[in-house]
């Protein structure tokens, strides 16, 4: 399947629900579209139930990028990083977000909804989507991520 940079896989747990909706509304105004893998309310749910489908959709190539949000960002990042083609980065400030793309070629951003504002989340997502991977020596390192014998 073809992938589109302007269409993004997104998911959250209950703690990240309102941040997810805020991101969708603000980036939607810029022409981005989303496949929302849930959750669809603030009712308690298990973060792997949305993280697995987002990671699978990015790994399969259906989407180039994914956004995952939970209270700490750690849970969804741990789930996503179980997939061999996923490089999920926990991002809580501008520099970490930029480096996750420049040096790690991250393809999923994990956001900690309880520690950042919705406005910061939008800023970090925009940085994530617009920062290119530098390649070069960083490509060599990224290649070693899935190679346990490197």
Residue tagged active-site, from 26, 70, 91, 138: 70
pLDDT tens, residue by residue, 69-85: 999 999 999 999 999 99
Q: Examine the residue annotation and report whether 70 is marked as an active-site residue of this protein.
A: yes
pTM score: 0.94
For the domain made up of 7-145, the CATH class stated in words is: alpha beta
Give the HSE-up count for residue 88: Cα atoms under 13 Å, Cβ half-sphere. Answer: 29
Identify whether 103 is a catalytic site residue.
yes
Q: What is the pLDDT of residue 146?
A: 75
- Cα within 13 Å of Cα(64), Cβ side: 14
- Give pLDDT tens digits for 90-116: 999 999 999 999 999 999 999 999 999
Please report, for the chain, the start and end positions of each structural domain, with discontinuous segments joined by +: 7-145
Alpha helix locations (H) across 72-145? 74-80, 94-102, 118-130, 137-145
Burial class (CB in 10 A: 0-12, 13-18, 19+), 61: exposed
Q: Active site residue: 26, 52, 103, 138, which one?
A: 103
Query: Once rounded to an integer, what is the mean pLDDT over residues 40-63?
Result: 98
């Amino acid at each position: 399947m073809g992938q589109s940079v302007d269409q993004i896989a997104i998911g959250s747990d209950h703690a990240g629900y309102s941040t997810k909706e805020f991101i969708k509304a603000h980036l939607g105004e810029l022409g981005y579209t989303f496949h929302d893998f849930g959750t669809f309310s603030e009712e308690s749910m298990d973060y792997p139930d949305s993280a697995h489908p987002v990671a699978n959709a990015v790994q399969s190539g259906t989407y180039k990028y994914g956004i995952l949000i939970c209270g700490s960002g750690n849970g969804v990042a741990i789930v996503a990083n179980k997939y061999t083609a996923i490089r999920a980065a926990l991002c809580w400030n501008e520099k970490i977000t930029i480096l996750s793309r420049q040096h790690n070629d991250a393809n999923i951003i994990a956001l900690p909804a309880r520690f950042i504002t919705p406005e910061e989340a939008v800023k970090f997502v925009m940085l994530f989507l617009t920062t290119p991977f530098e390649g070069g020596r960083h490509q060599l390192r990224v290649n070693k991520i899935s190679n346990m014998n490197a």
